[in-house]
Amino acid sequence: MATMAEELNLWKKGLEQVPDWVWERKELETLILAENRLTEISDRIGRLQKLRTLDLGHNRLTHLPDGLGELTGLTDFLYLHKNRLTAIPRSLERLKNLRYLNLSENALSEFPGGVCSMMALVELRVTDNQIQALSESIANLARLRELHLRNNRLRTLPASMNRLTELRQLDLRGNPLEFLPEGISSLPRLEKLDLRWVTSLPWPVWLSDLEARGCLVYR
């Protein structure tokens, strides 16, 4: 657990920019900047090489610095939810050890390709965006246990989803789905498939097979 010296909590301080002295705190393992009025983050964030958790949620960010990709020690959490992001920098693909990423409640119209290189991800939240399709390379996330895609614009999912063999929860609520690949029915550890508020999907017959083996299917 981080000591007070290793953790800096600037939650809800009314900040419009991050004080310069923050980027000199190279011992930090946890940095919380959530619920401020930040519109940008300095590229100097890349200096904080010991960070394990970074919370930038609930701000007004429209873009992220490439320096974020220098934080290769991020292992625990990266919160970017409830901002105004339309994309994330490709440099984030270097976050190979990150286990939790939250990109929900932004303005993403494309699934960020760099995410598919974060092969240690266990939980990924990209709800409440405008994403129309997932990349076939999402199959690279072999350790993923939870995938939350509620309230996007997905009409189908890639066939490669059947390779997410560690997946336990798949949340597809509120998408205009027209087709689901049958490979989802073969995911060996799937415990919950949430299809509520989906009105455009002809229910696949294999949903009954999932339920028969104990998977909770909400529809």
- Per-residue pLDDT tens digits for 52-96: 999 999 999 999 999 999 999 999 999 999 999 999 999 999 999
CATH classification at residue 29: 3.80.10.10
Minimal CA–CA distance to 144: which of 108, 176, 187? 187
pLDDT band at 209 (very low <50, low <70, confident <90, very high): very high
Task: Name the band, by pLDDT with cuts 50, 70 and 90, for residue 2.
Answer: low
Residue 128 gets the label, from left (phi > 0), alpha (psi -120 to 50) or beta, of left
The domain tally of the chain equals 1
| Percentage of the chain lying above the pLDDT 70 cut | 98
What's the confidence (pLDDT) of residue 1? 52
Domain that holds residue 209: 4-218
Averaged pLDDT for residues 21-26: 98
- In this model, does residue 23 exceed pLDDT 80? yes
Residue 113 confidence (pLDDT): 87
